[in-house]
Amino acid sequence: MHITALAGGIGGSRFLVGLRAALADDLPDAQITVIGNTGDDIWIHGLRVCPDLDTVMYTLGGGISAERGWGREDETFTVREELAAYGVEPTWFGLGDRDIATHLIRTQSLAAGYTLTEVTAALCERWQPGVRLLPMTDGRTETHVVVDDPTGATAPDGTPLRTALHFQEWWIRYRAQLPAHEFVLVGADQATPGPDVIDAITGADVVLLPPSNPVVSIGTILQVPGIADAVRSTPAPVVGVSPIVGDAPVRGMADACLRAIGVETSATGVALHYGARTEGGLVDAWVIDTVDAERTAEIDAAGIRCIVAPTMMTDEAASAALARVCLEAARTP
């Protein structure tokens, strides 16, 4: 059985840990392919950093910092401190000493002509995540966020000037507190899906949309030409999990992202944003948390089969239970 999941960073990785555990018990021969978001990728001090790929790899490989949800456990930041002592920017990016080894290998391998898909597979040889991790594209793409200029600069008529920040600067330096006017995936129009990405979606037995950020993680993956159409057309059932519980994201700042694209921050808002596959959208079924149970009828009315279940992934068992709910939803037409 082949299961393919589009995943971003921390929320997606937690779900994947549960999916892997559920399948190990229920379907030990099942294979999981993860299509990872590369819109967060950034050049930092000459190193190519791929936050969402690394979060999936480290989390499933057992090397993640449980406290932060990103980067390596037992991490130190000596190089970062030394760079700051030289006055080298950016100082706001938490570049960890252990993490640098990953970025050095990736940067050197890319410079030698290997693709990001090949480099990711090579890095996963060490971490053995138990899934095949595919970058959404091998092309260079970066999510940039259009905001009012943080310096307060204005045009002669007094209107605020707008500037585009790399997503990481908006997310880390400004904690997503600068209202985003627009998210732009730079390079999207030239991007092509990584090798095996489309096959992994159209050839899957189940396609899952974990509770990653629907705008800058899942949404970014869907912007690579061909991927959204593959999800719309795959013969496999497509099951998504709401990243919003109550009227707030479980973690991160998905609400800041949803507001920017005019989507209501609710389990219903995101479901309608993805749309029902029977209406040309992306999902057949949508798992919402028990606190949102009263939204079932409005989601069903949109042509999306709504399933109510606990979606807070407080530990691996909870994540596995959620994954089982998704797999069950995929089995029942």
Q: How far is Cα 206 from Cα 203, in angstroms, rounded to an integer?
A: 9
Piece in contact with ligand FO1 (CB under 6 A), picked from 130-138, 164-172, 264-272, 296-304: 164-172
Q: How far is the CB of 235 from ligand FO1 (least distance, A)?
A: 31
To which residue do tokens 């959404």 refer?
A: 136
The residues, any chain, with a CB within 8 Å of residue 158's CB and separated by 6 or more, are: none
Q: Which is nearer to ligand FO1, 11 or 281 (CB)?
A: 11
CB distance 243 to 264 below 8 Å:
no
Q: What amino acid is encoded at 87 in this protein?
A: G
Q: Which residue has the tokens 């990016």?
A: 93
> 5, 9, 131, 222: which one contacts ligand FO1 (CB under 6 A)?
9
Question: Closest CB to ligand FO1 among 166 and 273?
Answer: 166
- What is d(CA 227, CA 200) in angstroms, rounded to the nearest whole number? 10
Instruction: Count the residues of the shown chain that bind ligand FO1, applying the rule CB under 6 A.
Output: 17
**Is position 40 an interface residue for ligand FO1 (rule: CB under 6 A)?**
yes
One of 90, 94, 139, 195 touching ligand FO1 (CB under 6 A):
94
Nearer to ligand FO1, 172 or 291 (CB): 172
Q: Is 90 in the site for ligand FO1 (CB under 6 A)?
A: no
- Classify 134 as helix, strand or coil: strand
Report residue 142: phi and psi, to 5°.
Answer: -140, 135
Indicate the residue among 213 and 234 with the shorter CB distance to ligand FO1.
213
Among 33, 63, 70, 193, binds ligand FO1 (CB under 6 A): 70
Contact region for ligand FO1 (CB under 6 A) — 3-11, 81-89, 112-120, 227-235? 3-11
Specify whether the CB–CB gap between 148 and 179 falls below 8 A.
Answer: yes
* Type of residue found at 174: Y
**Out of 13, 33, 38, 55, the residue judged to bind ligand FO1 by CB under 6 A:** 55
Selected binder of ligand FO1 within 17, 35, 49, 272 (CB under 6 A): 49
Sheet (strand 285-288) strand order: 132-135, 31-36, 2-7, 206-209, 238-241, 285-288, 305-308
Antiparallel, parallel or unpaired: β 142-148 and 182-186: antiparallel
- Residue (15 or 70) nearer to ligand FO1, CB: 70
| Contact status: 211 vs ligand FO1 (CB under 6 A) | no
List the one residue from 30, 146, 172, 184 that touches ligand FO1 (CB under 6 A). Answer: 172
Which listed range, 165-173, 269-277, 282-290, 309-317, lies at the site for ligand FO1 (CB under 6 A)?
Answer: 165-173
Q: Which stretch binds ligand FO1 (CB under 6 A): 8-16, 148-156, 218-226, 265-273?
A: 8-16
| Using rule CB under 6 A, residue 274 touches ligand FO1 | no
Query: Which secondary-structure segment (H or E) carries 144?
Result: strand 142-148
Amino acid code (one letter) for 234: T
Instruction: State which amino acid sits at residue 255.
Output: D
80's CB contacts (< 8 A; 6+ apart) are: 91, 93, 94, 95, 96, 97
Give the residues lining the site for ligand FO1 (CB under 6 A): 8-10, 40, 49, 51-52, 54-55, 70-71, 93-94, 99, 168, 171-172
